[in-house]
């Protein structure tokens, strides 16, 4: 096989691989996803009880510091799913439709789970504890 033919074959294989894995923008078909930053923002205000409840917005954890149980967010307009949970309480789900210019306030009070064991465990970081590092 000549060098020119083998280079063409390698280029062809790379192009097919990119198309198969969706990495080649020229190989994609259908509409491309729009950037969420280009959409207008609506305002979502959450008022939570208990104040320590965790929030997941559209399957993404919401990492916003709050002390009084409320949080105001700028979120792209459209439909969103809010999940609120806390140890010892039933999880609450809400679907919300946001429009530009009119804030939506959700007051979510979680119901205590009578069958849940009291949460007395100390707070700990996510994941396993790191092993001790010994000098070489």
> Nearest 5°: phi and psi at 19?
-65, -40
pLDDT in tens, 66-92: 778 888 899 999 999 999 999 899 999
Question: How many angstroms separate the CA atoms of 20 and 16, rounded?
Answer: 6
| Complete domains list, the chain, with CATH | 39-109 (2.60.40.1120)
Residue-wise pLDDT for 26-47, tens only, equals 444 444 444 555 789 999 999 9
| CB-based burial label for 135 (10 Å; 0-12, 13-18, 19+) | exposed
Return the structure tokens found at 41.
């923002």
pLDDT at residue 18 greater than cutoff 60: no
Structure confidence at residue 23 as a pLDDT band (50, 70, 90): very low
Question: Rounded to an integer, what distance in angstroms lies between the CA atom of residue 41 and that of residue 101?
Answer: 8
Alpha-carbon dihedral of residues 41, 47, 50, 52, nearest 10 degrees? Answer: 40
Of 21-30, 89-98, 115-124, where does mean pLDDT reach its minimum? 21-30
Q: pTM for the complete prediction?
A: 0.59
- Please, where are the H alpha helices in the chain? 3-20
Nearest 5°: CA angle at 94, between 88 and 98? Answer: 145
Per-residue model confidence (pLDDT) at position 31: 42
């Amino acid at each position: 096989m000549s060098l020119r033919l083998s280079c063409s074959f390698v280029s062809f294989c790379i192009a097919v691989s990119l198309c198969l894995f969706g990495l080649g923008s020229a190989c994609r078909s259908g509409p491309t996803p729009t950037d969420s930053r280009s959409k207008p923002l609506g305002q979502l205000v959450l008022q939570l009880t208990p104040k320590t409840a965790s929030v997941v917005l559209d399957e993404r954890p919401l990492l916003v510091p709050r002390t009084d149980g409320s949080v105001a967010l700028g979120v792209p307009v459209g439909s969103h799913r809010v999940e609120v949970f806390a140890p010892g309480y039933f999880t609450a789900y809400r679907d919300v439709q946001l429009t530009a210019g009119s804030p939506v306030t959700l007051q979510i009070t979680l119901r205590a789970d009578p069958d849940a064991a009291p949460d007395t465990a100390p707070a700990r970081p996510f994941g396993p504890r790191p092993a001790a590092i010994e000098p070489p």
